[in-house]
Amino acid sequence: MKKKISILGSTGSIGKNLLKIINKNKDYFKITLLSANKNYKLLLNQAKLYNVKNLVISNTDSYYKLKKFEKKFSIKVYNNFDNLKKIFKFKNDYTMSAISGLDGLKPTLNSINYTKNILIANKESIICGWNLIEKKLKKYKTNFIPIDSEHFSIWTLIDSNNKKYINKIYLTASGGPFYNYPKNKFFKITPETALKHPNWKMGKKISIDSATLMNKVFEVIEARNIFNIPLNKINILVHPQSYLHAIVKFKTGISKFLFHETSMMIPIYHALYGSMKNSIKDLDFDKLNNLNLSVVDKSKFPSVCVLDIIPKKTSLFETILVSANDELVGLFLDNKIKFNDIVKILLKIIKMKQFVKFKKIKPNKIMEILSVSNNTRKLTRSLVTNLHD
């Protein structure tokens, strides 16, 4: 019997990679649902190719355009994830949550009820709403598998038996396009140069986060949440080759590490099948012999200083961090602020009195998270406008 799977964010990079894997194993999976934000043409093509009958598209204009094809292709088109009860009579075997940004939190929470395993590749949901996700995972007895390469590596290296013996966890960062770039020239960095990641092909937002190393800061917070590990036990190492993804050092004197090629296909494939039939490439001994690990230069990448401000447990403060950073990255991409301003202004915002109080407030409802996010975004844009007046 085919395994049932739904894909939230099927037109994004993670969704496309997952569909490539499914395409090679068509007899193994039946896709029950696909979703997108705006790209209704690609979503419709995916539905036709994989014979998918349920589609969710969030953008209102795209929804009405796609709705016109319902009868012709015998499909059901929805504008949100509030109708999953009508779609799923039985639990899916897998659900991939790969919608970017905080927009992915509600669909993730809604989907947990209807799947045996949820694969999450949405860092904002894990950072801002982990306690809500964890509560539903326990309630509906749903297994969680992280898909981000670093967290998948940690998940692979540890289990319930050896978790208590963890001494340190090291996540690796490539250093992005500016690892060897002179610090005194950072003020000249343009969006075009910042988007040129040396190892990965990614979207604009995550590419800029990689260039500032904020993406790695977010991954540390994710690791804290997912594995319930104190922040002071999680470190960042710069590793330009992006071959080694995580190191776990145990109190027993043993350390384990996991490496693989720079392809998201690998963690996705292993999450679904437990193993791969064929290795993509042979071991790269040149990379293994030259891992070139180093600590982060905080004067060059001050974003890592954010970790000194983050509370020990999940709070609404992380939503402020994510939302303010989102807005600042957008402003940089629009040439409204300089590259250096992203982290400079971010550090200023998260130290404001009206935001510091949120360190002690645990999110209990999704609307609390979304409200704080909206207010933070407005204040961030207002602050930048005032700085330039």
Residue 57 confidence (pLDDT): 97
Banded model confidence at residue 260, pLDDT cuts 50, 70, 90: confident
| Residues whose CB is less than 8 angstroms from the CB of residue 58 and which lie 6 or more positions away in sequence, other chains included | 35, 36, 37, 38, 79, 80, 103
Quickly count: other Cβ atoms within 10 Å of residue 364's Cβ: 12
Burial of 60 (0-12, 13-18, 19+ CB in 10 A): exposed
CATH architecture of 311-389: Orthogonal Bundle (1.10)
Pairing, β 76-78 against β 94-97: unpaired
Does the pLDDT at position 128 exceed 80? yes
Average pLDDT of the chain, as a whole number: 93
Residue 276 confidence (pLDDT): 60
Edge-to-edge strands, sheet with 143-146: 76-78, 54-57, 29-36, 3-8, 94-97, 117-120, 143-146
Tokens of 355: 């935001």
CA distance 206 to 339: 14
pLDDT tens digits, residue range 84-125? Answer: 999 998 999 999 999 989 999 999 999 999 999 999 999 999
Does the pLDDT at position 310 exceed 90? yes
CA distance 107 to 98: 10
For the segment 208-234, the average pLDDT, to the nearest whole number, is 96
For the segment 12-18, the average pLDDT, to the nearest whole number, is 93
Banded model confidence at residue 144, pLDDT cuts 50, 70, 90: very high
Quickly count: other Cβ atoms within 10 Å of residue 207's Cβ: 21
195 to each of 83, 192, 210, 329, 338, how far by Cα in Å?
Answer: 38, 5, 9, 11, 14
pTM of the model: 0.93
Does the pLDDT at position 389 exceed 60? no
Q: Does domain 3-146 have CATH number 3.40.50.720?
A: yes
User: Residue 33: phi, psi to the nearest 5?
Assistant: -160, 140
The residue extents of the domains of the chain are 3-146, 148-308, 311-389
Percentage of the chain with pLDDT > 90? Answer: 80
